[in-house]
Chain A
Amino acid sequence: MLMAPGPAPTDLQTMRFDFDGTRRPGGFTSVLVGVVGSGNLEVLVEPRDDDRCAVEIRTSARGFETIWEAVLCNFHERHALAGVRLSINDMGATPAVVSLRLEQAAAQLEEVSR
């Protein structure tokens, strides 16, 4: 579909993190929080069949893998979600904003899957 030359070094970075979770939410279709704006991100939560919490991030802010990992580990320690897929589109949010959106996602997930 893309007709341009291949990705340049300044282009988007994709990261994946997988966790083994324990707390499976009840039935739900999807949850979306946040907005892809400058300094912001959107988080889409969808169900998965297995017990993993699979996270995929696409970001314009390259080179922050260790910070993403730290934030996600922190999130997973708190929620240990299982059977969910988190898809994130990020435009340079700070770790604080990322954590906020993840918490909002978890809260909404709890609300809709009750």
Chain B
Amino acid sequence: MDWQILAERLFGSNHAIRADGNLLHGSATFDDSDIAVIGTTGHVAIGFELALAQARLVLDEIARHPGRAILLLIDTQGQLLRRRDELLGINRSMAHLGCCIDLARRAGHRVVGLVYDQALSGGFITSGLIADACYALPEAEIRVMGIPAMARVTKIPEDRLIELSKANPVFAPGVQNYVAMGGVRALWSGDLAACLRAALAESPTDDIRAVDGAARGGRRLAASVVQRILRAP
């Protein structure tokens, strides 16, 4: 979904969200209060600089608007695959973004992520996946890596991966699988504003994704492994 249409459906005309290149930022009025919006568009690849730019927005939010909820809008093809970014330490820049979002949460900001188009791997770990909870539009796509690249790295034939990705939630890129595994809390459709309202009211502040994954059947071991460790002698 185009971000402007999304903004319209969420906030009507009550928003001041801008795109600076592929960086989205601004705020909107929502249910008599303001909500901050930070994110990306254009399936942009997140490099050192873009991760840092988002971190700046989060830090400014914490400083200037204590307690204001933050909506992270996610549309990315993943981390930028450039030698320069690796040289400069893209992992440190991304970790910094993650730490800033984490700080916002602890400082009392509700942080909700929404994958409205694509989310891949590194571009997702330090945004949507570190929010209080991450949501997605039904038509969105979340994946770790494209199948041809996965086939190259794993040495498993593409045919086998394609076959598995039809039936097996672990491989299929559809957001429904991420819901089943607890990675995405719910899908938003229909009245998106109502979905946002519910998300702001109901998103957990503890990481319960493994518990969700077990309850929903998509990830049956993770939660029980954690419990076994907590109980082990």
Contacts and interface: CB of A to CB of B under 8 A. Distances in A.
Interface string A1-21: 101110010100000000000
Contacts of B168: 3-4
Give the contact-size bracket for chain B.
under 10
B117 to A, nearest CB: 27
- Nearest first, the 6 closest Cβ-Cβ pairs linking A and B are A4-B168, A4-B167, A3-B168, A4-B164, A1-B220, A5-B167
Contacts of A1: 220-221
B78 interface: no
A3 B216 CA distance: 13
Interface of A: 1, 3-5, 8, 10
Q: Is the interface of A mostly helix, strand, loop or mixed?
A: loop
A3 B169 CA distance: 8
A1 B168 CA distance: 12
Nearest to A10: B160
Contacts of A10: 160
A10 B160 CA distance: 10
Given A3-B168, A3-B170, A4-B168, 5 more contacts: A1-B220, A3-B169, A4-B167, A5-B163, A5-B167
Interface in B144-193: 160, 163-164, 167-170
A5 B170 CA distance: 13
